[in-house]
Amino acid sequence: MKPTLLVCAAIGLATTLPTAAQVERHDGFADHGVAAPTSISRGTAATMTADGKRLVLIWLSSSGSISQLAIDVDSGDSTQVPIPDATGSPFAVLHSTRNLWYGHLGGRFYEFDPDSLTFTFAGDTPKNWAGALTEAPDGVIWGILNPAGHLISFNPDTRELKNHGIANEESWVQIPRRIAADDAGWIYCGTGSAKAQVVGYHIATGEIRKYIPEAQRQYGNGMVWRGTDGHVYTEAPGSEWKWHRLYDGEITSIEKPEVDRAPIRAGAQHSVFRQFGDGSSIATLDVPNRLLVVKEADGTEREIRFDYESEGANITSLAAGPFGKIYGSTSHTMRFFTYEPDVDELIDHGGVPAIGDGNFCAITALGDHVYGTEYSGGRLWQVDPQKPWQPTADDEEQNPRPLAQWAIDIMRPRTILAHPDGKHVLMAGFARDGLIGGGIGIYNLEAEEDSLLTAEDDLFPGQSCITMKALPNGNVIGGTDVTSAWAEQIATEAELFILDWETRKVIFHTIPVPNDVRIISIEIGPDGMVYGLSGKSRFFVFDPEKQTVVHSEDFSEYGGVPRHALHSSPDGHIYALMGRAIVRITPDSFEHVKLSDSPVGISAGGALHDGVLYFGSGTHLWSYQVP
């Protein structure tokens, strides 16, 4: 069993870890190990216990696992505490004036006591997670929940956890990210994103008031914060609804706030509350690379290496690329890794600070370079495998380096295509949260120019291209998804479309699978046919010359469809990575055979290299030797 090498070039760290690539195959399958054995912070607070001990508290998340990590700054010891009955991760955290540490995730509210290093409360609420938490003047903790806008409260004295009902009801999924309390017994929430709104809730009576008139509601989120004067201040950034003051349920238009924000230690999942309270603070916190730097009150800094157990980060994308390697990305946190079959070496090269907890949602190769599409910045990145991994270096030394960005139209990329003309790379996916209908970004490598086809003007309003390939004549064929996690659905059925490469115009489109909302994966066969899999695991074959679907059948017995599921092989077959099985499809006849059930769930496709299919199963890289 050989060690996997973890390389974190961003901080000059090279460490050999015990996670190993396993070469033994059983029924054709091999588990090559965890690609990136790291976790991320979902909220961090520096604090002091009653006896003066300095602690760093971290909501620690990896894959499907969440725990509480407490680092003793003076001893360097760390304690990892399981979270009872937890699913998901927090999107908002709060460190209260009573030195208690709160989070809400998976429909459960938690209180953690740093003095005892135990969870002192856990209770059920409506789903799913709190987008914002605050502490009212009386010490009660309040939260506003995704997806429906439920308002909850927890009284630390009585230990009562209460659901106050839906504060703001919409037909689409809400992203409530702001909450504040005034001194007069009102709670105010800012929500969105499809349309911003600010609502007020009277604690004594349950009365609800909405403040942004419907005609003035625009894309975005309502902003609220408590001032040092006990009033709440609000606006809707990006809209014509400007600054207002809220107090006792009443709203007053103002030029701008003239008071400071009240010092409440509450924020989103990326929050780091750095001050310990004795003059010392957190200078640097790098959870994936297990590094903490503390700045003492006298200005000196001290480095602390800590450790934790981690299931690793989930693999989201894979591709075969130059130099005989498999290239991949994980998410939450983003790590770029390679697997070299010839020497059986799995390497975690590290993350990209500019990407943070995101990922390369899709990867491709062109020549000696690898290209990745970024969530959540909507950028196209170029990786040079022959250069050191230096994501923070300057100019030409930076590797990887960003080429283009479409942050609004392609915030959540799903597909990437190296065009056969050898000089263009295309990416596509979902638009920014709260919008529906994603674009296609095109980058010219020779001219170093980018262009964008938008859903509204060039493609299909309310739809997003999530899979695409190049036809033999150079035209691009793509499949869409009509849904959005955070916006109201417009279209009802996914489309298959052909884009004329010369004119950049859609010249044909059809619904290949009636009553299905997404086409997840397509591939071009050696016969020029387009092979596809839909969201309902429907397999279909499309003839681009006759512009008709010539075959369709149900593949649901093999499980769901991961991204990048279909692969054309030099042996003349098409291979499908399904959720529970590997399937071989014969062109011309369109007959298929199940080659094998998978011993693990296939959660991410996929790459085909030298007769071996590579796929992700959670945090592990797996492969299957095609017989």
Which pLDDT tens digit goes with each residue over 410-433? 999 999 999 999 999 999 999 999
CA distance 465 to 448: 23
189-212 pLDDT, tens digit each: 999 888 999 999 999 999 999 999
Give the model's confidence band at 484: pLDDT under 50 very low, under 70 low, under 90 confident, else very high.
confident
- Of 404, 425, 455, which marks where a domain is finished? 404
Across 59-66, average pLDDT: 92
Residue at which a domain ends, from 249, 282, 310: 310
Say if 258 falls within a structural domain.
no
> What is the SS3 assignment for 180?
strand
Q: Kindly state whether residues 24 and 79 are assigned to the same domain.
A: no
Residues 498 and 425: their CA atoms lie apart, in Å, by: 17
Structure tokens at 459: 């493609």
**Residue 286 shares a structural domain with residue 364:** no
Q: What is the pLDDT of residue 17?
A: 38
Average pLDDT value for residue range 490-506: 98
The answer to the question of residue 27 being in a domain is: yes
Structure letter (DSSP) for residue 177: -
Torsion of CA 376, 380, 386, 387, to 10 degrees: -60
Q: Over the stretch 180-190, which tens digit does the pLDDT of each residue have?
A: 999 999 999 99
Strands (E) across 314-434 are located at 314-320, 326-331, 336-340, 345-350, 359-366, 369-375, 379-383, 401-405, 412-418, 424-430
Q: How confident is the model at residue 16 (pLDDT cuts 50, 70, 90)?
A: very low
Are residues 77 and 10 part of one domain? no
Whether 120 is in a domain gets the answer yes
DSSP assignment of 296-324 equals -TTS-EEEEE-------PEEEEEEE-GGG
Q: Which amino acid is at 139?
A: G
> What strands, in cross-sheet order, belong to the sheet with 620-625?
29-34, 620-625, 612-617, 604-609
Residues in the chain: 627
If asked whether residues 83 and 120 sit together in one domain, one would say: yes
Q: Tally the domains of the chain.
A: 2
The reply to whether 390 and 333 lie within a common domain is yes
C-alpha span between 460 and 492 (Å, rounded): 12
Across residues 99-104, what is the average pLDDT? 99
Give pLDDT tens digits for 374-389: 999 999 999 999 999 9
Mean residue pLDDT across the chain: 95
The band of 261, judged by pLDDT with boundaries at 50, 70 and 90, is very high
Structure tokens at 113: 């006591």
Q: Are residues 372 and 306 in the same domain?
A: no
pTM score of the predicted model: 0.93
User: What is the mean predicted confidence (pLDDT) over 578-601?
Assistant: 98
Report how far apart, in Å, the C-alpha atoms of 237 and of each of 190, 348, 612 are: 11, 39, 51
Q: What is d(CA 225, CA 188) in angstroms, rounded to the nearest whole number?
A: 9
Does residue 305 lie within any of the structural domains? Answer: yes
pLDDT range class, residue 444, cuts 50, 70, 90: very high
Model pLDDT for residues 515-556, shown as the tens digit of each residue:
999 999 999 999 999 999 999 999 999 999 999 999 999 999
Tokens at 101, concatenated: 């540490």
Q: What does the alpha-carbon distance between residue 408 and residue 430 come to, in Å, rounded to a whole number? A: 9
353 within some domain: yes
| Banded model confidence at residue 485, pLDDT cuts 50, 70, 90 | confident
More confidently predicted of 17 and 627: 627
Look at strands 574-577 and 581-585 and give their pairing: antiparallel
Judge whether 128 and 146 are in contact, CB under 8 Å: yes
- Closest to 439 in 3D by CA, of 463, 423, 420: 463
Distance CA 196, CA 83 (A): 34
The pLDDT value given to residue 18: 35
**What pLDDT is recorded for position 488?**
86
User: Do both 298 and 348 map to the same domain?
Assistant: no
Q: Mapping DSSP to helix (H, G, I), strand (E, B) and coil, where does residue 395 land?
A: helix
Residues 44 and 34 in one domain: no
Domain shared by 46 and 30, yes or no? no
In Å, the largest CA–CA distance within the chain is 78
Percent of the chain surpassing pLDDT 70? 96
Q: Is 619 helix (H, G, I), strand (E, B) or coil?
A: coil
- Confidence at residue 486, expressed as pLDDT on a 0 to 100 scale: 81
Mean pLDDT (whole number) for 217-236: 97
Residue 139 covered by a domain: no
Burial class (CB in 10 A: 0-12, 13-18, 19+), 119: middle
Residues 326 and 381 in one domain: yes
Percent of the chain that is helix, strand, coil (3-state, to 5): 0, 50, 45
Same domain, 316 and 305: no
Distance CA 602, CA 421 (A): 32
> Residue 299 class from Cβ within 10 Å (0-12 exposed, 13-18 middle, 19+ buried)?
exposed
d(CA 73, CA 119): 21
Assigned token pair, 380: 């196209």
- Report yes or no on 194 lying in a domain: no
Q: Which of 185, 188, 234, 225 is nearest to 209 (CA)?
A: 188
Which of the listed residues 404, 431, 459 is the one where a domain comes to its end? Answer: 404
HEC string of 84-135?
Answer: CCCCCCCCEEEECCCCCEEEEECCEEEEEECCCCEEEEEEECCCCEEEEEEE
* Eight-class DSSP state of 571: T
SS3 assignment, position 215: helix
State which residues form the domain around 342.
Answer: 1-38+312-404
Q: Which residue has the tokens 């003066």?
A: 52
Closest alpha carbon to 308 in 12, 60, 620: 60
- Does 110 reside within a domain? yes
The backbone region for 547, taken as left when phi is positive above 0, alpha when psi lies in -120 to 50, beta otherwise, is: left
pLDDT at site 23? 62
pLDDT at 172 over 70: yes
What pLDDT was estimated at residue 171? 86
Query: What amino acid is encoded at 578 in this protein?
Result: M
> Given the structure tokens 């100019």, which residue do they identify?
395
